[in-house]
Structures are given as C-alpha cells and as structure tokens.
Amino acid sequence: MTKHALVEMGRRDMLRFAGAAVAAAIAPLPVLAQGAPPLKIGIIGAGREGSALGTLWAKAGHQVMFSSRHPEELKSLVEGIGLAAQAGTVEQAVAFGDVVAIIVPYPAMQQIGKDYGAAIASKVLVMDVSNPIAPRDGEDIVKWVAEQGGAGLATAKLLPGAKIVRAFNALGYTRLAADAHRPGDPVGIPIAGDDKTAIAVASSLIREIGFEPVLVGGLAMGRYLVPGTPFGREPTPAEIKQIAATLH
C-alpha cells in the first residue's frame, strides 16, 4: 500500500489497519514485500476462481479463510497452502475478513446479501469477482442485473453499504497463476468502484499478486467488467486505458 493510499483512508480504516499491524506483531506472520501488514481475507466461494485467487493472496503473505457451505471439502486445498490458509463456513469467513472477496455464481449473491449483508457492509473492501452468466444463472437474473445498470450497481443493491470493487471478472482461473508476475508488461486488471479506500486496498492486493490494477470508473462501469466485453482478454494496463476511453 502506498503512502498516498494510506492518506486517503478514513480514521476508522486506519485503526483497522493499525489493528492488523498489531496482530501481525503478535502472531509471527510474514511481512509483505511492499511493507504493508498482512490482511485477513475471507473468500466467499472457494471454487475454481476463488481457490486460485485466495491461493495467490496466501502466498503473498496474507491470512486467507476459504469458505464453503461444506468446509470439510476444503481440507486438501488449505493443507496444500499451509499456515496462511484455513477453511470455514461462509459466516466464519465473513467474520474473519478485513476484506471479503465474493466469487460465487451470481444468484448466490442475493442469498449472501440477505444472510450477511450487515457484516459485509462493515468491511474495508468487498471484492466482487462474480458475474451474471445466462447459461449458468438463468435469463431472469441477467435481465434483472441489466435493469440495475449492470453488475456493479446490481451488486451494490444486493449488498447495501458495502464498499465494492469489481475485479478479476474476466480473467479465467486457469490463467491466474500463469499470468501472476509475468515478465515484461504485467497483465492489467480493470477495476471499478466508488469508495476510495476500497479502491486503494484492492489496488494493493492486485499488485501484490503480480497484476496491475487500472481503475476504469465508478461501479456503473462494472457493467463492462464481465466476460465477453473488450476487457475480456489479458490486456496490458495501456490497452485497458485505451478500451476504457472508448466506453464512457
């Protein structure tokens, strides 16, 4: 996290980060390469994309709780990662995280909002990696999301008060480990959000695992952060800026 990002944080968020630093001093956690304290990240949806992303964050030095409605099924995943990873229920992961990443089929977002919306709204960042996909999720929800103005604004409706940043929505799970820290130009990750602190934290988390975040606009721009749009490849940061300029 840059000094600039920290200056943009409110007092409450600063306290939370200070708390994380104290926790890091108590528990012998690895110090991040860029000097930021490790965060606690709750992964809601430890399927293909969620387990790949959470693994990268755990390897970068964060504490990650992967969740499932059947947490016992995550035993081999967390054992393979080591001490930085643990498995829990969705409720436990929401309570655990300073940051929550939601990586579920889009209809599950409705249930998650109903069950954990209040707790999720208290987090410094909610990274929304989820997409509404008609063949998987049904036409009705895809239509409803479009009526809200796209996936960013729809998620904000389902998770009132949450500091949402959409990210990684079009980068397939098979590419995450391969593209992380790739030599030469990094793979750019288009992000969209409205909360400055959440954007700063998301940007830091994205850089730490070897990608370059590019803010393409507020949550309304989240409608373009889905597979099948011009962002849906492995663009460089410069390419993302060029594409974003044509979409406003």
- What residue ranges bind ligand NAP (CB under 6 A)? 44-50, 68-70, 90, 103-106, 108, 111-112, 129-131, 133, 168-169, 171-173
- Report the residue number, 57 or 106, with the smaller CB distance to ligand NAP: 106
SS3 percent helix, strand, coil of the chain, rounded to 5, is 50, 15, 35
- Report the residue number, 103 or 200, with the smaller CB distance to ligand NAP: 103
- Report the residue number, 45 or 97, with the smaller CB distance to ligand NAP: 45
What is the full DSSP assignment across 175-214? HHHHHTT-SSSPPEEEEEES-HHHHHHHHHHHHHTT-EEE
State the minimum distance, in angstroms, from the CB of residue 72 to ligand NAP. Answer: 10
Residue 219 and residue 192 in contact, taking contact as beta carbons nearer than 8 Å? yes
- Report the residue number, 141 or 201, with the smaller CB distance to ligand NAP: 141
Q: Which amino acid is at 102?
A: I
Using CA atoms, how far apart are residues 237 and 216, in angstroms rounded to an integer? 11
Q: Among all residues, whose Cβ is closest to ligand NAP?
A: 47
State the minimum distance, in angstroms, from the CB of residue 144 to ligand NAP. Answer: 15
State the minimum distance, in angstroms, from the CB of residue 60 to ligand NAP. Answer: 19
Tokens of 200: 């700063």
State the minimum distance, in angstroms, from the CB of residue 177 to ligand NAP. Answer: 12
User: If you ran DSSP here, which 8-state letter would residue 45 be given?
Assistant: -
State the minimum distance, in angstroms, from the CB of residue 43 to ligand NAP. Answer: 9
Q: How far is CA 137 from CA 43, 105, 121, 145, in A?
A: 20, 7, 25, 11
Using CA atoms, how far apart are residues 201 and 198, in angstroms rounded to an integer? 5
State the minimum distance, in angstroms, from the CB of residue 117 to ligand NAP. Answer: 13
Using CA atoms, how far apart are residues 184 and 27, in angstroms rounded to an integer? 36
- Report the residue number, 8 or 175, with the smaller CB distance to ligand NAP: 175
Using CA atoms, how far apart are residues 52 and 209, in angstroms rounded to an integer? 11
- Report the residue number, 38 or 50, with the smaller CB distance to ligand NAP: 50
